[in-house]
A and B are shown apart, each in its own frame.
Chain A
Amino acid sequence: MNAPDRYERFVVPEGTKKVSYERDTKIINAASFTVEREDHTIGNILRMQLHRDENVLFAGYKLPHPLQYKIIIRIHTTSQSSPMQAYNQAINDLDKELDYLKNAFEVELAKHSREY
């Protein structure tokens, strides 16, 4: 009866930002990113990619509530980097990894269709 509409899970409401950024007021080089209408799919790959960055001291994400369709990613870096830089770097690296993966899959697929 009062369940939220299904599209609420993936359509960003008008006037809402997809990603908002908030610096930590107490710790330098720490910040939270609120990502609207995303879940574990994005949260977990970003977190794990951030862990590969040696300038990242802490990276974590949470899905605060199953009916609040957003995730919060928290990043703390050394003074060599910044949360924003680490965040951008993680996205770029994942993007390149997926490009590489797609190419690798296509090469393998072509090999297989020839064998058919």
Chain B
Amino acid sequence: MEGVSYQRFPKIKIREVKDDYAKFELRETDASMANALRRVMIAEVPTVAIDLVEIEVNSSVLNDEFIAHRLGLIPLTSERAMAMRFSRDCDACDGDGQCEFCSVEFHLRAKCMTDETLDVTSKDLISSDHTVVPVDFSDSSGYDSADKKGIIIVKLRRGQELRLRAIARKGIGKDHAKWSPAATVTFMYEPEIHINEDLMESLTLEEKTSWVESSPTKVFDIDASSQQVVVADAEAYTYDDEVLKKAEAMGKPGLVEIYAKEDSFIFTVESTGAIKASQLVLNAIDVLKQKLDAVRLSEDTVEADDQFGELGAHMRGG
């Protein structure tokens, strides 16, 4: 009964990885796989974010819900999120979503006592769990390490105070964008560029220059010594068709042919810092596998159909 396999064996080549950035090539698969991965990275890889805020004191200029919303948008380190439970299916706290398996508690206390404005930032959020804390951007590549400030939540003047308790929960971007670990995830088709050398050589240097400059991005260049048109950076091409239109206008159609390779993709992944960019890709693969597993036919559906088959055979007089 087992059919032959139609499985593909995609190839990966990583070009660059940093904590919050990854660029890689995905080959020998199709756009549906590339797009599914992109969609899952943006909307279905879980993270932890503040979801419930109880305000004790707020005499700041921002209203309670405004502050609650800002707290929700602060990225929290979420390496643990894949292993955590969603509050809605947590049986340890039956639905109130405040137990250790499905939530992390935060406290914030700040009061301005001086004439100088006090900045309340993500650094003032005190976590009950050292693995889930506001993302620290300050030490990554020494970005102005002099003032390690964190993300500003609100500013207080003398006498103003903010005191609150917050609950962070596991969630996905599909529910609310605050849970999305992705800042941007994009992929492009790898372009394949063929220059018609014979036709190109019928152009004067001036014509070549004007054709090369018709591209809004620097895709082509002219070799200084040979005065030949060369592809400088194929990936700079944005599929804008400008060089094709220019060739047409110059009376040289077919000067260049550009195809999008249908099985090669160049991915750019930027993370919010909640998880590493490379981990985001791996988690997306896991989540997609779980999703596929969830759409398998259940035993009873198969059984019901088998009976239907017998009934059908019976009715056909078998």
Residues of A bordering B, CB below 8 Å = 6-7, 9-11, 17-21, 23, 33, 35, 38, 40-42, 44-49, 52-53, 55, 81, 84-102, 104-106, 108-109, 111-113
Q: Does the CB pair B10–A21 fall under 8 Å?
A: no
Residue ID in chain A nearest B296 by CB atoms:
A91
C-alpha gap A67/B36 in the complex (Å)? 20
Q: Which one of A46, A89, A105 contacts B6 once the chains associate, using CB atoms below 8 Å?
A: A89
C-alpha gap A102/B297 in the complex (Å)? 25
Given A19-B295, A35-B295, A93-B6: A106 and B282 within 8 A (CB)? yes
Interfacial residues of chain B within 105-158, with CB under 8 A of chain A in the complex:
none
Chain A residues within an 8 Å CB radius of B296:
19, 88, 91
Q: Does the CB pair B297–A38 fall under 8 Å?
A: no
Q: Does the CB pair B292–A105 fall under 8 Å?
A: no
Residue ID in chain A nearest B39 by CB atoms:
A41
Is B314 on the interface with A (CB-CB < 8 A)?
Answer: no
| 0 or 1 for each of B277-306: is its CB under 8 Å from A? (1 = yes) | 010011001101101111111100110110
Residues of B bordering A, CB below 8 Å = 1, 3, 5-14, 17, 24, 29-33, 35-36, 39-40, 44, 88, 172, 174-176, 278, 281-282, 285-286, 288-289, 291-298, 301-302, 304-305, 308
Instruction: Tell me the smallest distance from the CB of B276 to a CB of chain A, in Å.
Output: 10
Residue ID in chain B nearest A7 by CB atoms:
B175
Q: Which 9 A-B pairs have the closest CB atoms?
A: A48-B32, A52-B6, A93-B7, A104-B12, A108-B14, A44-B32, A102-B285, A45-B32, A41-B39
Q: Does the CB pair B297–A108 fall under 8 Å?
A: no
C-alpha gap A93/B40 in the complex (Å)? 19
Q: Does the CB pair B301–A98 fall under 8 Å?
A: no
Q: Does the CB pair B12–A101 fall under 8 Å?
A: yes
Q: Does the CB pair B33–A41 fall under 8 Å?
A: no
Q: Does the CB pair B12–A41 fall under 8 Å?
A: no
C-alpha gap A58/B288 in the complex (Å)? 24
Chain B residues within an 8 Å CB radius of A111:
14
Q: Which one of A10, A44, A106 contacts B174 once the chains associate, using CB atoms below 8 Å?
A: A10
Q: Does the CB pair B291–A41 fall under 8 Å?
A: yes
Q: Does the CB pair A18–B298 fall under 8 Å?
A: yes
Q: Does the CB pair B36–A44 fall under 8 Å?
A: yes
Chain A residues within an 8 Å CB radius of B29:
97, 101
29 contacts between A and B (CB under 8 A): A10-B175, A11-B88, A17-B298, A19-B297, A19-B298, A20-B301, A35-B295, A41-B40, A44-B32, A44-B35, A46-B295, A48-B32, A49-B6, A55-B3, A85-B3, A91-B292, A95-B292, A98-B285, A100-B7, A100-B10, A101-B29, A102-B282, A105-B24, A105-B282, A106-B282, A108-B14, A111-B14, A112-B14, A113-B17
Chain B residues within an 8 Å CB radius of A81:
3
Q: Does the CB pair B175–A101 fall under 8 Å?
A: no
12 further contact pairs, Cβ within 8 A, besides A35-B295, A84-B305, A108-B12: A10-B172, A18-B298, A19-B297, A41-B39, A45-B33, A45-B36, A48-B30, A101-B29, A102-B286, A104-B12, A106-B282, A108-B24
